Amino acid sequence: MTIDQGGRAVSILARLDRLPGTRHVWLLVTLLSLGGMFELYDLFMTAYVIPGLVKAGLLANVAVSIFTGPALFVAATFSGLFIGTAAFGYVADKYGRRTIFTYSMLWYCAATLVMAFQNSGFGVCLWRLIAGIGIGVELVTIDTYVSELVPKSIRGRAFAFNQAVQFSVVPVVAFVAYQLVPISPFGFDGWRWVALIGSIGALFVWFIRRAVPESPRCSSKISAICFSIV
């Protein structure tokens, strides 16, 4: 690695930070934030579907170690988050932000879809754990993705916007659960409908993937030059 290569990498990254906050940049932040909405829907529905699971008797006789019933369902969710962030947080660095954003979203949407059709407490908690892994990977990927796509002059505003859009789904999932969990539309338990609604994020993932480019800071050429500096 030559001094010229190192200087070129620093120059490219500095130019990225000097870019203006154009409408296109804000569109990219909006698309990533909409993807994150499904992630937070899936995460926050944890508390709202438990009454339905209890009503269906799925958590009555299930236990792992000290965790039983609803506690096991919650523990499965956050164990998955821990595994996803601690054990697999590096995958977006290795394979690219856009790729991992796409596949982690598909991962937790598919796992939640499978969970909605489980008929045992163990099956529900197992697939909740699997979904939690995908959610954990997505959590760290979206934040990194936004910070790398957005020039530093608007980075704070971009994160504020990103969080506002993502967390706007919390009252939505609360309202959906309030309406559906106590009933069984078409003979299908309400909590299952809540989970199914969250899984439809997979239908939008390819549209978002096509519209959002790979992080310029994560491109193979720049990464190779930057890593060779240290």
Contact 65, 76 (CB under 8 A): no
Residue 203 has pLDDT above 90, yes or no: no
Dig out the tokens for 53 from the structure: 């699971």
Q: Which helix (H) or strand (E) holds 68?
A: strand 67-68
Dig out the tokens for 66 from the structure: 């000290």
Contact 179, 42 (CB under 8 A): no
Dig out the tokens for 143 from the structure: 């934040």
What is the DSSP-derived secondary structure letter of residue 65?
T
Tens of pLDDT, residues 51-84: 999 999 999 989 888 899 999 999 999 999 999 9
* CATH superfamily of the domain spanning 3-229: MFS general substrate transporter like domains (1.20.1250.20)
pTM of structure? 0.87
Residue 60 one-letter amino acid: A
C-alpha torsion sign, points 145, 149, 151, 156: negative
Q: How many CB atoms lie within 10 A of CB 208?
A: 18
Q: Please tell me the predicted confidence (pLDDT) of residue 229.
A: 36
Q: How confident is the model at residue 224 (pLDDT cuts 50, 70, 90)?
A: very low
Tens of pLDDT, residues 135-190: 999 999 999 899 888 888 899 999 999 999 999 999 999 999 999 999 999 999 99
